[in-house]
């Protein structure tokens, strides 16, 4: 008999009932150190007082109002995002995959309105992840995600990550945009070198192609800058955001330049929930903390400490870990045994990590975790690795 919850997830036998900062409490009372943060969502950990008060205060006033009306909380959050990023304008969604839908629509509408309606192709990269909607799975194109769901949304050209010649050849008079994650998350924490992002920007400038960055996972302070592309010193035309922006409340956004967004006039797009007062009140509380340069400096310091300790861990357990990769607090450990076994060994030490592609486990902790919690995470990973060594010896 089919379970009452559609069985599309492989769930661990863990039931969390409470969260406090970087910790989660299981139904049996055990406390787990959360180095996954709901896959880069809980950027300020669990039950952060500023977020709880923003949510509860707004909840007592007005939860939802249609986008048929002015929404001051949405306006304020859009202003804040415009002020702190490359963007001139923002559309709010509820998830990453909805942000993907709009990014694709926006790029195609741009060329349609410019009198080049044949420019519809979106160039994307193997190993990427852009969500589970029709545009998201067609964009990523992986066999695992698309099998059985044909006909797929057409107009995506898939390239291998790092194949320079194929990239140049793929940009034609039919290309609308290039869509890429500055750091592949699901694909296994694979950062795009700054030089490559600069090169992509230059290629887009030469050919008029729009550059869409998917910063759903790597954005919102995760790398120690508000958005990951800032490290390369270039800006996109369109950017997808979600995960961390709501700090755990469902919220996403598409940010764009005035030019890139020029096709999106009244009536061309919409969302019932997108940008509602509750979500935007929480989003604003997140932005006020995370966009603060002093906070981001703290993220970079904590990231440096964590990375250094992880390098030591890899050196101490060469049969379990191969290498550390990533930027800021978006780190991956490439594993030798199955990454799923390493994640499970972490659970046994009451430590949460997240598996990714390429046999990697991801560390995506709350951005405000403490030095002691970093040390504790390393201790627990060390014990997990030792347990795996004992098992295979
Ligand atoms: C998680 C993720 C998405 C999809 O976000 P949802 O909120 O699950 O729809 C898209 N792109 C990237 C890079 C992601 O990590």
Q: Which domains does the chain have, with CATH numbers?
A: 16-34+293-392 (3.90.1150.10), 50-290 (3.40.640.10)
Rounded Cα distance between 37 and 367, Å, is 9
Look at residues 48, 35, 17 and name the one whose alpha carbon lies nearest to residue 248.
48
Mean pLDDT, contiguous 10-residue spans, the chain (393 residues)? 96 98 98 98 98 98 98 98 98 98 98 98 97 97 94 96 90 97 98 96 97 98 98 98 98 98 98 98 98 98 98 98 98 98 98 98 98 98 97 80
Looking at residue 391, its pLDDT comes to 84
Cα-to-centroid distance, 42 and ligand 1 (Å): 14
* pTM of the model as a whole: 0.98
Ligand 1 proximity of 263 Cβ (cutoff 6 Å): no
Name, in order, each residue with C-beta under 8 angstroms of 64's C-beta and a sequence gap of 6 or more.
273, 276, 277, 278
214 annotated ligand-binding residue: yes
How many degrees, rounded to 5, is the angle at CA 19 between CA 18 and CA 25? 55
Residue nearest to atom 15 of ligand 1 (CA): 217
Looking at residue 392, its pLDDT comes to 80
Hey, what are 85's tokens?
A: 């990023």
272 annotated ligand-binding residue: yes
| DSSP code, position 249 | B
Cα-to-centroid distance, 240 and ligand 1 (Å): 9
Pocket test for ligand 1, best of 142, 179, 243, 274 (most atoms within 8 A of CB): 243
Look at residues 251, 270, 269, 255 and name the one whose alpha carbon lies nearest to residue 94.
251
Q: Give the phi and the psi of residue 184 in degrees, each rounded to 5.
A: -65, 125
216 annotated ligand-binding residue: yes
Residue nearest to atom 11 of ligand 1 (CA): 130
Looking at residue 171, its pLDDT comes to 96
Looking at residue 163, its pLDDT comes to 86
Look at residues 46, 24, 44, 42 and name the one whose alpha carbon lies nearest to residue 33.
24
């Amino acid at each position: 008999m089919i379970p009452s919850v559609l069985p599309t997830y492989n769930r661990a036998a863990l039931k969390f009932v409470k969260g406090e900062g970087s910790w989660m409490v299981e139904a049996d009372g055990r406390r787990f150190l959360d180095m996954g943060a709901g896959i880069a969502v809980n950027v300020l950990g669990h039950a952060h007082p500023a977020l709880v008060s923003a949510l509860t205060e707004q909840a007592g006033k007005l939860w939802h109002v249609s986008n048929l009306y002015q929404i001051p909380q949405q306006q304020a959050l859009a202003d804040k995002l415009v002020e702190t990023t490359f963007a001139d304008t923002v559309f709010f969604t509820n998830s990453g995959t909805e942000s993907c839908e709009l990014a694709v629509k926006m790029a195609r509408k741009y060329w349609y309105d410019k009198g080049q309606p044949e420019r519809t192709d979106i160039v994307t990269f193997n190993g990427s992840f852009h969500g589970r909607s029709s545009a998201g799975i067609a964009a990523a194109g992986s066999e695992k995600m698309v099998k059985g769901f044909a006909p797929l949304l057409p107009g995506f050209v898939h390239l291998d990550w790092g194949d320079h010649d194929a990239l140049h050849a793929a940009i034609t008079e039919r290309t609308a945009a290039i869509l890429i994650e500055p750091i592949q998350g699901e694909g296994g924490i694979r950062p795009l070198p700054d030089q490559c992002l600069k090169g992509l920007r230059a290629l887009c400038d030469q050919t008029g192609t729009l550059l869409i960055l998917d910063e759903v996972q790597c954005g919102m302070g995760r790398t120690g800058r508000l958005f990951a592309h800032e490290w390369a010193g270039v800006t996109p035309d369109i950017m997808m955001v979600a995960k961390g922006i709501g700090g755990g409340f469902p919220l996403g956004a598409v940010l764009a330049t005035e030019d890139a967004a020029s096709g999106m006039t009244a009536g061309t797009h919409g969302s019932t929930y997108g940008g509602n007062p509750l979500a935007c009140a929480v989003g604003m509380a997140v932005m006020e903390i995370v966009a603060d340069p002093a906070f981001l400096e703290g993220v970079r310091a904590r990231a440096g400490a964590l990375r250094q300790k992880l390098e030591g861990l890899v050196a101490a357990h060469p049969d379990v870990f191969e290498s550390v990769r990533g930027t800021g607090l978006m780190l991956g450990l490439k594993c030798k045994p199955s990454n799923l076994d390493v994640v499970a060994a972490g659970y046994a030490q009451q430590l949460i990590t997240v598996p990714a592609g390429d046999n990697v486990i991801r560390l995506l902790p709350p951005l405000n975790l403490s030095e002691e919690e970093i040390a504790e995470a390393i201790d627990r990973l060390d014990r997990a690795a030792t347990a795996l060594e004992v098992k295979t010896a």
